[in-house]
Amino acid sequence: MALLTTTIGSFPKPPALHEARRRFAEGGIEAGALFEVENEATVRALRFQEDLGLDLLVDGEMDRADPITTFAERLSGVEIAGWVRVYGDRYVRKPRIVGPVGRAGASTVERFRFARGAASRDVKAVVPGPYSLLDGSYDEHYASRRAACAALAEVVRDEVRDLAAAGATDIQIDEPAAGARTDELPMLAELLAHVGEPLRGRARLWVYLGYADLEGAGAALAKLPADGVLVAAAHCDYAGIEGFARALPSDRFVGVGVIDTLRASVESEEEVRARIARLRELIPSDRLWVVPDGGFRALRPDAARAKLSAMVRAAK
Amino acid sequence: MIRSASHSSYPRIGDGEWDQQLRRTARERDRGLATDADFRAVEDEVASLVVAEQSRAFVDIVTDGLVRWSGPFSHFARGWDGVALDGLSRWFETGLYDRRIAVTGPVKRCEAVVVRDAKLALDVRPKHYKAVLPGPVTLAFSARVADGADRAAVAEEVAAALAAEALELAAAGVKIVQLDEPILCRRADLADLVARCAAKVFEAAGEGATTILSTYFGDLSDPALDLAALPGTHLGLDMVHGAANWPVLVRLPEGRGVHLGLFDARTVRPETAEEAFERIVPYREILLARDVMVGPQCGLELIPRDHAFDKLLQARYLKEKLEREWRWHS
């Protein structure tokens, strides 16, 4: 039985987009011109996925510098503090919450509408989750982490409601920080249920857990309230996957990473097939989705294509 | 004696044009436009700049910012046999990720890891330079090991590898060595093992060396913890996240120096030397009898560079205030 495939969100940005962003930052072009270049890059990312035969597409996040910052900097009550290293040679401009967070309007809906109109298949919308927005920011305003998370959850809830109204049938909430503090998992579950409530019966809610520690928190993470859960696992040779899979509720879709997007070396189709076979022993095929561990933002386009190609061939 | 001190890491990029050089070169390397050698050369320049920048804040004890480290643990895998790099894992509850160490056999040192870095840092001629090493116990208990493997034995092997590193650091002229064991704040039951491993490394650092057993992201308030049994000339305490560490000062063994982590290296909230001063005033008599270092509680790379610099400036101002008001000398 062929398995369904999707990706996590980001794709490599073409040189023309890097150049346009640089010129925009220097005041050389207007926002509208940058938007057009982003649209062209989005279409390329969609064709790239369609050519490979992916089942559920993403817009490639051509307008996002990273998953957290671009969303956060469009909110009121948020400033950008500066560059911070997150892993290896990867850095982000970390936001700083300095007042009540609020949304002037939808942040991701226009890009989603464009991608949906340009794609031949369903497109999954991707939004950062409230817990990871807090984790990826410095909070100088709220009295507690719970208060900050609750405020961010309202913002994310409004965003997913707007996405559903715009026709999104699949919405992914990125929560890579989900397992960072296991004592806060009940709070995260509560917030996710609140965020996903407007989608009930209208769209599927996916939660991406990033590189969560499945050995330590897998069983609790598997039960987070969502229609589907996505998690990286190829990077650590599936450490903790058994406990995670055992704890999955019977109605839950699950996408497990079968290619390591942190390494440039390309997995062979056989390697990926072996990983999928391992997952099939743990998760029923009608609920198992095949995905990469993370986004492709940091990979070269040729490596991203080769990795995804191996993944799709192995899944089919 | 009172001194201001950087803890360990320091931001390797900033907002300025040249401050982005390392990131830019990494991206060029990813696209095949720069070589590994190009990248290493920029790393060396940035490390020297980081030593100079901390010195410019007039901090007494500086580090090289751990600028060349891939992560708190993974960096040392390059010089050891018996380990490999595993999947991504989060550095405690911070937003920093590192490749987890997987233990594949007996851990043995095959080459120096930070000795060259120390020599280059000393060439910048800082007032005092501190070399930082990962804690063997924190590393062993975070590593991926085979089912049933003895993590304590792994920690002892790692300690032997780090002792060899410390010996070469001493030969290179390093007089201050810090061993990071944050796990002690969560696992007081590992205190004996931490003590045994740290003693091995500190002994290799040489007679007369300043040796700091650094703990952070929590406190050492567990009454079962025998502070006198912990080795090192100084004990590093997190006074930001470990509020329960204040009473620990009263329990410090006589003569033991202390590295007080007073400034929060995990937030950009402005802090002042005056605020920190007010917090330590009640402990004046205890502190005056000891050799004390003041600074951030953990590495500064968790915050942007301008904020990191300001935390160090405040540490310096605090030290100067203590010199003035307590007639305490460095």
Residue B36 belongs to some domain of the structure: yes
- What is the C-alpha to C-alpha distance for residues B101 and B141, in angstroms, rounded to an integer? 10
Question: Could you tell me which chain A residue has the CA closest to the CA of B19?
Answer: A83
A90-103 and A75-87 strand pairing:
antiparallel
Can you tell me the distance from the alpha carbon of A285 to that of A290, in angstroms, rounded to the nearest whole number? 10
Residue B148 has pLDDT above 80, yes or no: yes
Position B17 confidence tier, pLDDT thresholds 50, 70, 90: confident
**For residue B52, what is the domain's CATH number?**
3.20.20.210
Q: pLDDT-derived band of residue A65, with 50, 70 and 90 as boundaries?
A: confident
pLDDT value, residue B283: 96
Residue with tokens 């949906």: A116
Whole-Å CA distances, B103 to B134, B141, B145, B184, B299:
16, 11, 5, 21, 26
* C-beta separation of B330 from B294 below 8 A: no
User: Is residue B306 within 8 angstroms of chain A, CB to CB?
Assistant: yes
**pLDDT number for residue A218:** 95
For B29, the token pair is 């390397």
Taken in order B212, B217, B219, B225, is the CA torsion positive or negative?
Answer: negative
With CA atoms as reference, report the closest residue to A307 among A66, A8, A67. Answer: A8
Cβ <8 Å between B304 and A81: yes
Rounded mean pLDDT of chain A? 96
Question: Distances in Å between the alpha carbon of B69 and those of A49, B72, B98?
Answer: 36, 7, 10
Report CB contact under 8 Å: B88, A298.
no
In this prediction, residue B232 has a pLDDT band, given cuts at 50, 70 and 90, of very high
Give the per-residue pLDDT at B30. Answer: 84
Query: Which pLDDT belongs to residue A21?
Result: 92
Q: What residues pair up with B259 in beta bridges, in sequence order? A: B236, B293
Q: Residues near B127 by Cβ (< 8 Å), separated by ≥ 6?
A: B55, B59, B60, B61, B62
Q: Is the pLDDT of residue A96 over 80?
A: yes
Strands B97-109 and B128-134: unpaired
CA atoms within 13 A of residue B154's CA, in its CB half-sphere: 24
Residue B138 lies in a domain: yes
Domains and CATH numbers, chain A: 4-67+107-315 (3.20.20.210)
The tens digit of pLDDT for each residue in A25-46 reads 899 999 999 999 999 999 999 9
- Which pLDDT belongs to residue B316? 97
Answer yes or no: are the C-beta atoms of B269 and B311 closer than 8 Å: no
Total domains present in chain B = 1
Evaluate whether residue B133 is within a structural domain.
Answer: yes
CB contact under 8 A, A87 and B86: no
Burial profile A84-119: b = 16 or more Cβ within 10 angstroms, e = fewer: bbbbbbebbbbbbbbeebebeebbbbebbbbbbebb
In a domain, B23, yes or no: yes
pLDDT at A307 over 80: yes
**What is the model's pTM?**
0.94
Cα A306 to Cα A148: distance, rounded to the nearest angstrom: 41
Q: Are the Cβ atoms of A237 and B100 closer than 8 angstroms?
A: no
pLDDT of res. A67: 85
- How many angstroms separate the Cα of B162 from the Cα of each of B79, B176, B177? 10, 14, 11
Structure confidence by residue, pLDDT tens digits, A267-283: 999 999 999 999 999 99
Q: Name the DSSP class of A57.
A: B
Q: Which pLDDT tens digit goes with each residue over B196-218?
A: 999 999 999 999 999 999 999 99
Q: A31: number of CA atoms within 13 Å, CB side?
A: 1
Does residue B301 sit within a domain? yes
Q: What is the mean pLDDT of residues A222-238?
A: 97
Range of the domain at B21: 2-325
Mind listing the pLDDT tens digit for each residue in B64-105? 999 999 999 999 999 999 999 999 999 999 999 999 999 999
* Averaged pLDDT for residues B41-45: 97
Distances (CA, A) of B9 to A212, B58, B65, B301: 24, 17, 4, 6
Encode pLDDT of A114-165 as tens digits. Answer: 999 999 999 999 999 999 999 999 999 999 999 999 999 999 999 999 999 9
Q: How far is CA A272 from CA A211, A268, A276, A312, B208, in A?
A: 19, 6, 6, 9, 55
Chain B residues within an 8 Å CB radius of A143: none
Q: B95 vs A236: CB contact, 8 Å cut-off?
A: no
Segment A299-307 shows an average pLDDT of 92
Closest CA to A13 of A50, A57, A51, A66: A66
User: Residue B290 phi/psi, 5° resolution?
Assistant: -130, 170
- Kindly state whether residue B309 falls inside one of the protein's structural domains: yes
Q: Among A88, A177, A235, whose Cβ lies nearest the Cβ of B87?
A: A235
Mean pLDDT, to the nearest integer, of A197-209? 95
Q: In terms of CA atoms, which chain B residue is nearest residue A299?
A: B30
- Residue A290 and residue A4 in contact, taking contact as beta carbons nearer than 8 Å: yes
The encoded tokens of residue B159 equal: 């300690």
Q: What is the mean pLDDT of chain B?
A: 96
